[in-house]
């Protein structure tokens, strides 16, 4: 079992909120911090077990819920009925096909001016955003029905 490496920023957020830095939480944090994928609880469990072999599914769910409450993660729902988790900061962008459910993630952010306008208009400080466009992919456009 190797000890996970987690940034001081994340560990300080948990400590400041009054939570202990258990080996299970550190293992989940290590996966969250190093992964760029849409995280499922199962994926987190599988990857975090390299740091905490005794880690259980319930602990992963509780930790993901805690990280969501603390604003570290954000749940997203991509049409297949399951929940995925992404880092909460910054922007996250998808094209979602209403026909087959395909999800395409893209990095280009076109929301910069909108963020500025919304901040000024409503007095918010916007830290992150989720932008999804729903439609039909080229395969589904060509399919009858």
**Inter-residue contact 79 to 103 (CB < 8 Å):** yes
Tens digit of each residue's pLDDT (9 = 90 or more) over 9-62: 888 999 999 999 999 999 999 998 888 778 999 999 999 999 899 999 999 999
Residue 29 sits in a domain of what CATH number?
1.10.10.10
| pLDDT greater than 60 at residue 2 | no
CATH number at residue 101: 3.30.1490.190
CB-based contacts of 63: which residues, under 8 Å, 6+ apart?
A: 24, 25, 28
Is there a single domain that holds both residue 71 and residue 18?
yes
Query: How do residues 69-111 score in pLDDT, each as one tens digit?
Result: 998 888 887 766 678 888 877 777 778 888 888 888 777 777 7
71 and 23 in one domain? yes
100 and 124, same domain (yes or no): yes
The stretch 125-132 carries a mean pLDDT of: 80
pTM of the model: 0.71
Domain count, the chain: 2
Domain enclosing residue 98, as ranges: 89-142
């Amino acid at each position: 079992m190797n000890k996970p490496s987690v940034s001081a920023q994340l560990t300080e957020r948990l400590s400041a909120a009054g939570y202990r830095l258990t080996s299970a939480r550190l293992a989940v944090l290590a996966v969250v911090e190093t992964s760029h994928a849409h995280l499922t609880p199962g994926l987190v469990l599988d990857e975090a077990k390299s740091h905490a072999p005794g880690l259980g599914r319930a602990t992963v769910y509780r930790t993901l819920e805690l990280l969501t409450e603390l604003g570290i993660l954000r749940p997203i729902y991509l049409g297949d009925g399951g929940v995925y988790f992404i880092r909460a900061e910054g922007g996250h962008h998808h094209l979602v096909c209403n026909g087959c459910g395909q999800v395409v993630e893209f990095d280009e952010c076109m929301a910069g001016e909108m963020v500025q306008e919304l901040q000024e208009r409503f007095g918010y400080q916007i830290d992150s955003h989720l932008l999804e466009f729903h439609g039909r992919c080229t395969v589904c456009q060509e399919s009858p029905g």
